[in-house]
Amino acid sequence: MTTLPDDTTTTATVEYAAEQPARLEWAKHAPEVYKAMIRLETAARQGLDHTLYELVKIRASQINHCAFCIDMHTKDALADGESVERIVQLSAWEESRHFYTEKELAALELTEAVTVLTDGFVPDEVYAKAAHHFEEAELAQLIAAITVINAWNRFGVTCRMAPGHYQPGQYK
């Protein structure tokens, strides 16, 4: 409801676009692949800071335009105490560096390099920066986490999984 200057009240109906149905419920039709992805996800997150892990998943999902994963990981991050401000600024992290630690910035830069791969490789300077902030085992886990979210994004985008229905922690 909107109150107008003359103290009258009006209601406006907003009609949103229709939700597109999923193309394929891939997990239902390839349950062993889905189970393997869950195991891979569980293994990839071991030893990584949870906040960093969620930021990486959100950023890769933004790059890949995976609305389902953006919805999921944003909700999980918020439920775990992440600030709205840091999530909102994530798509422009290079201009919003002061919202993140140097370690998070190195992880975000590596996430972009691994996700995009436009030149067919991860630049040495990006890798070196990440290697400076992460011990080798943690760096290996980070690379695994980036790889796994990119795989999830490919399923989500290809099968057109609809955002908006996920509840925080639903798949934990």
Tokens of 153: 């994004």
Neighbour tally for 78: CB within 10 Å: 14
- Taking CA atoms, 19 is separated from 6, 145, 157, 167, in Å, by 37, 30, 14, 18
User: Residue 2 has what pLDDT?
Assistant: 45
User: Residue 136 has what pLDDT?
Assistant: 98
User: Residue 8 has what pLDDT?
Assistant: 57
Residues 76/169, Cβ–Cβ less than 8 Å: yes
Q: Greatest CA separation found in the chain?
A: 66
The ranges of the chain with pLDDT < 50 are 1-4
User: Residue 6 has what pLDDT?
Assistant: 56
User: Residue 161 has what pLDDT?
Assistant: 94
User: Residue 172 has what pLDDT?
Assistant: 66
Residues 42 and 37: their CA atoms lie apart, in Å, by: 9
Q: Closest by alpha carbon to 50, among 95, 2, 105, 104?
A: 104
Residues 32 and 38: their CA atoms lie apart, in Å, by: 10
User: Residue 17 has what pLDDT?
Assistant: 93
User: Residue 5 has what pLDDT?
Assistant: 55
- Taking CA atoms, 40 is separated from 32, 37, 127, in Å, by 12, 5, 23
Residues 112/63, Cβ–Cβ less than 8 Å: yes
Tokens of 100: 């993140």
Residues 30/38, Cβ–Cβ less than 8 Å: no
